[in-house]
Amino acid sequence: MTQTSDRDITAQTQAAPVTVLWDPAVATYNFGDHPLDPVRVELTMALARDLGVLARPNVSVTAAPPADRDTLRLVHQDAYLHAVQAAPHDPFFRGWGLNTSDNPLFEGMHEAASLITGMSVRAAEAVWRGEALHAVNVSGGLHHAMPDRASGFCVYNDPAIAIARMLELGAERVAYVDIDVHHGDGVQAVFWNDPRVLTVSLHESPVSLFPGTGFPTEIGGPDAEGAAVNVALPAGTGDAGWLRAFHAVVPSVVRAFRPQVLVSQCGCDSHFRDPLANLTLSVEGQRAAQLEMRRLAHELTGGRWVVFGGGGYGLVDVVPRTWSHLLATATGEPMSTSSATPDTWRGFASSKRPAAKVPTVMGDGADASFQPWDPGSRTDPVDRAILATRRAVFPLHGLDPDDPRD
């Protein structure tokens, strides 16, 4: 199959409008002394700005109104919405996944979560309506929230709501690819039995990591078998194994699905310095995945690409660099990982987190090359994971699980 070159894709992107959603008020989504610290998105946007990414001529940086109740109801139960609004006023509140160590209460929880969701919905609308070729909300990607409860730092499931909004607008085939280290369980659950949505998740094995789901045998409901695709990778998997698994599964199933739009959740907690998980990717490896998803969008959807952040708890040294690469990739010319971080940003980062080691370059100096999957390999744990996923879902898409050409 002939693919458009990265240079051509960059030129196409630069010639098209790209929307970046941003509002400093997303910092009010703040659980307090908690791993999901909003400083990570503040530092990301500051770094992208100081690198000149947000000033590119095709880029519009804009805010969006909070999602209203009808929009939230596209995914969430009304009783749960009432609970989110009521819970912060009752320190003894229990239920709905709220007031736990993962999801502690904070004032304005509903408003902050609605704002992030509104930004993700606006990103989806802009792409679906042709107002933007790509749209990015790095504060979004809160993929664990369920229709009736909070989970895993996530109050409202903005990616699922954004997808549901595109379905409401007439979309018939939406592909969702989730590269967060944690399984994209909430989005999978919402669309479990909906053949219009393909959910693909690459994550650390549920044997060793929250949320304990995402086995390759999870393939979708009776009306949508094959619409859920899960690649569960062993703890310790690095760039070479992760990228081999990505390329052995994701392009094939996404091509077979023939989506009209691609949605990517780009959590960067797969990094080797992330404190909450056990994969060992580098910034270079994560950037390579971003580039591949952009290629798929331009190959299959006319370039329509909706992009969200997600997890990532290396607040200063990982998230800002990886997501600045994401913003650069989504808006035009990808950045070199050997580029220096700007002095202005290093000073700002130090002022926000004086004890942190602030990175001076945009990469880790890693080699993100990989060997393609070999169907004859059975001994490597990554290759066994690849084969388990391919055998579970490839036949449902008319693909041969043992043929590397599929």
Angle at 189 between CA 271 and CA 259, to 5 degrees: 75
- Average the pLDDT over 172-181 and give the result: 99
- Residue whose pair of structure tokens reads 């929250």 in the numeric block: 210
pLDDT of residue 21: 99
Buried b (16+ CB within 10 A) or exposed e, 204-227: bbbeebbeebbbbebbbeeebebb
Q: How far is CA 213 from CA 90, 184, 216, 266, in A?
A: 31, 9, 9, 19
- For residues 179 and 320, what is the distance between their CA atoms, to the nearest angstrom? 17
Active site amino acids:
144
DSSP strands (E only) in 287-374:
305-308
What is the residue-averaged pLDDT of the chain? 97
Give the per-residue pLDDT at 4. 83
DSSP class of residue 375?
T
Tokens of 334: 């990808």
| pLDDT, tens only, 78-117 | 999 999 999 999 999 999 999 999 999 999 999 999 999 9
- pLDDT for res 2: 53
Report the share of the chain in percent with pLDDT over 90.
98
Alpha-carbon distance 352 to 10, whole Å? 33
Least confident of 10-24, 57-71, 270-284, 368-382: 368-382
Mean pLDDT throughout 213-218?
98
Helix, strand or coil for residue 47?
Answer: helix
* CA angle 39–45–49, rounded 5-degree value: 140
| 241 Cβ neighbours under 8 A, 6+ residues apart | 233, 370, 380, 382
Q: Cα separation of 400 and 406, whole Å?
A: 6
Q: What pLDDT, on the 0 to 100 scale, is given for residue 250?
A: 98
> What is the tens place of the pLDDT at every residue in 319-347?
999 999 999 999 999 999 999 999 999 99
User: Which ranges of 129-220 does DSSP label H, i.e. alpha helix?
Assistant: 158-168, 185-190
CA 102 to chain centre: 19
Q: What is the pTM of this model?
A: 0.98
SS3 of 352, please? helix
Cα separation, 303 vs 320, in Å, equals 25
Mean pLDDT of 154-165: 99
Closest alpha carbon to 40 in 327, 357, 284, 317: 317
Q: What is the pLDDT of residues 13-48, one digit of tens each?
A: 999 999 999 999 999 999 999 999 999 999 999 999
Tally Cβ neighbours within 10 Å of residue 99.
Answer: 17
Domain boundaries, the chain: 6-397
Listed in sequence order, the residues at least 6 apart from 24 whose beta carbon sits closer than 8 Å to its beta carbon are: 42
Give CA–CA dist 171/259, Å, rounded: 9
DSSP state letter for 88: G
| Contact (CB, 8 A) for 294 and 340 | no
Spatial separation of the C-alpha atoms in residues 286 and 107, rounded to whole Å: 34
CATH topology of domain 6-397: Arginase; Chain A (3.40.800)
- Encode pLDDT of 363-389 as tens digits: 999 999 999 999 887 789 999 999 999
Asked if 204 and 230 count as a contact pair (C-beta separation under 8 A), the reply is no
Q: Which residue has the tokens 């320190």?
A: 91
Residues 311 and 181: beta-carbon distance below 8 Å: yes
